[in-house]
Amino acid sequence: MQTIQQSFKVEYSYAVFFTHYLFDQKNPLLKNFFNDYSEQGFQRKALVIADEGFLHHHPEIPGQISSYFSESVPQVQLASEIISVPGGETAKNDINTFNRLVEAVDMYGIDRHSFIIAIGGGAVLDLVGYAAAVSHRGIKLIRIPTTVLSQNDSGVGVKNSINFHGKKNFLGTFAPPVAVFNDLTFLKSLDDRDWRSGIAEAIKVALIKDAAFFEWMEEHVVALAHRDTESMAYLIHRCAEMHTDHIAGGDPFEFGSSRPLDFGHWAAHKLEYLTNFEIRHGEAVAIGIALDCVYAAKAGRLAEADLNRILEVMHKLGFELYHPKLSENDKINLRNGLQEFREHLGGQLTIMLLDKIGKGTEVHELDTGIISDAVDFLSAFQSQLTESKVLE
């Protein structure tokens, strides 16, 4: 019998919109978007799932959403309740939260012609995106990111996931949204940690792809640290642009082991678990970036002058660049993160290291002795900064 060989391509297209006051009746952005989906014969529905912390800071939002849909998008039937879920990694750690979302999809009759609207930070978007992707084999997902990190990085990508068996992003899908709406007014309610945390992903993408963007951050580091909205708006747009360009031009569903946008993340993922998620993802990424940059310098790849510039920017932004959990159990716990990262990649270990600011090279092994030396360097570096602050 002859073998049947099949091959086909699927094209994805979605827009990342930047706006203010998304749910104001005077803002036609959402209305215009849904008008493009006005097909006869379908009763489209929408289920809104939001970060409970976001709703706490914006208690007016449920009423605004209800009014917007009833007045501006009457052709879409809005579910009678907005489902709230915990923010942060808590959203991804509890399988019962995922189950509750799938039950809501069933209860409100959200089908493949309908929409799930996710409002929140990156972890909430990951959770809701996973529920949308596996329900009915894929429900249209609209993301409305509410943090710096989700607006410039995770919210504009194609990945969705939850944590499982003590491993980050163990269950997940590659499923692009149908649209992303970045409302910059939502950033005003962020605390300083969440404001700062998202900048780590911008540092990441600048270091591996765009030296000029890193230089811009050096020049605007004080403004960014002091919550200048214009500077942050540019940072988010540029970072999101580079992220989506990478997806379009590379390996969006990560069939290979090359994942340059995970620069600094092997240690970050492990550190999040070692601290029981007490530190934000972006805070862990900042430490992971610092660790890999020190490693690159000690391995003779990265010039000391470049290393000093990188650490200086992160310090001025207010990042802590060391955590005691890095050194715990003679650093064995941290090094175990390398094996877990290799498993997550699905084969060969691939780590991005810097040759210079704006240019990285992928390597397939790390020296555990140099990792240990890099941890000790960051410990001493952070101690010196702390002592200097006390003396001031």
pLDDT tens profile 101-150 = 999 999 999 999 999 999 999 999 999 999 999 999 999 999 999 999 99
Rounded Cα distance between 353 and 292, Å, is 7
pLDDT tens profile 198-237 = 999 999 999 999 999 999 999 999 999 999 999 999 999 9
Helix or strand holding residue 23 (H, E): none
Rounded Cα distance between 93 and 75, Å, is 36
SS3 sequence, 268-279? Answer: HHHHHHHCCCCC
The reported pLDDT for the residue numbered 251 is 65
CB 317 within 8 A of CB 221: yes
> What one-character DSSP code corresponds to residue 12?
-
The reported pLDDT for the residue numbered 258 is 55
Residue 208, Cβ density class (10 Å: 0-12 exposed, 13-18 middle, ≥19 buried)? buried
Question: With b meaning 16 or more CB within 10 Å and e meaning fewer, what string describes 277-302?
Answer: bebbbbbbbbbbbbbbbbbbbbeebb
The reported pLDDT for the residue numbered 40 is 61
Decide if pLDDT at 380 tops 90: yes
DSSP 36-81: TT--TT---EEEEEEEHHHHHH-TTHHHHHHHHHHHH-TTSEE-SS
379 C-beta neighbours (distance < 10 Å), count: 16
Q: To 10 degrees, the CA torsion angle through 325, 331, 332, 335?
A: 90
What is the mean pLDDT of the segment spanning 43-70?
95
With tokens 């297209």, the residue in question is 13
Rounded Cα distance between 244 and 233, Å, is 17
The reported pLDDT for the residue numbered 157 is 87
pLDDT tens profile 3-35 = 999 988 888 889 999 999 999 999 999 999 998
Phi/psi at 155 (nearest 5 deg)? -75, -15
What is the mean pLDDT of the segment spanning 54-67?
95
- The SS3 assignment for 85 reads strand
pLDDT tens profile 312-357 = 999 999 999 999 999 999 888 998 888 888 876 676 788 999 999 9
Global pTM?
0.89
Considering the segment(s) 192-391 as one domain, its CATH architecture is: Up-down Bundle (1.20)
DSSP 186-203: GGGG--HHHHHHTHHHHH
Rounded Cα distance between 303 and 308, Å, is 9
Taking the alpha carbons at both ends of the chain, their separation in whole angstroms is 81
CB 47 within 8 A of CB 131: no
CB 94 within 8 A of CB 77: no
pLDDT tens profile 239-281 = 999 888 888 776 666 665 457 778 999 999 899 989 998 999 9
The reported pLDDT for the residue numbered 366 is 92
Q: Where are the domain boundaries for CATH 1.20.1090.10 in the chain?
A: 192-391
Rounded Cα distance between 36 and 198, Å, is 32
What is the mean pLDDT of the segment spanning 371-380?
95
Rounded Cα distance between 254 and 45, Å, is 32
Residue with the larger pLDDT of the pair 391 and 290: 290
Q: Where are the domain boundaries for CATH 3.40.50.1970 in the chain?
A: 15-189
- Residues contacting 50, CB < 8 A, separation 6+: 61, 82, 83, 84, 85, 118, 119, 120, 124
Question: HSE on the CB side for 388, CA within 13 Å?
Answer: 7
Which range among 93-97, 115-119, 386-390 shows the weakest confidence by mean pLDDT?
386-390
- Residues contacting 276, CB < 8 A, separation 6+: none
The CATH number of domain 15-189, selected from 3.30.450.20, 3.40.50.720, 3.40.50.300, 3.40.50.1970: 3.40.50.1970
